[in-house]
Amino acid sequence: MIINDLHAAPTRSTTGTWHCLLRRGMLHSDCESVEHWHLHRGQQLHLHAGDAVEEMLLLRRGQLHLPDGRPLRAGQALFFDGRHDSWVRAGEGGAQVLSIRVLPSRLSACLPARVPELAPAIPATHALQ
């Protein structure tokens, strides 16, 4: 079990502050990462085609603006297909964003099939209370 804490000291960058909640190796190999971003007013989160990932941004709080000016509001999601560089910019009140990055299907299709590991049953006398 892996437990991560959003109250721990975040990583700071010119883009904003972020916590990496999960990284490849903690999940299935086709999931690159799950990250929590806190962007201040006007800060941009860049989405790079060269990262070779697809990315879903779930806006938790605040507002984001897309390059064409459309707003993204809390509770809405944006899917980035990874074919072209792009960005989102935080609105007046900043933004809290959950980013889920996965390998595109053209790459994940090359990975070995996932087979669930079958753990032996835990006797009831040893189950956690």
Count of residues in the chain:
129
3-class SS of residue 95: strand
Q: Which domains does the chain have, with CATH numbers?
A: 13-106 (2.60.120.10)
Question: How far apart are the C-alpha atoms of 127 and 113, rounded to whole Å?
Answer: 31
What predicted TM-score, i.e. pTM, was given to this entire model? 0.68
Question: How far apart are the C-alpha atoms of 64 and 39, rounded to whole Å?
Answer: 9
3-class SS of residue 46: strand
The pLDDT tens digits of the residues spanning 77-103 come to 999 988 899 999 999 999 999 998 888
Would the pLDDT of 128 be above 50?
Answer: no
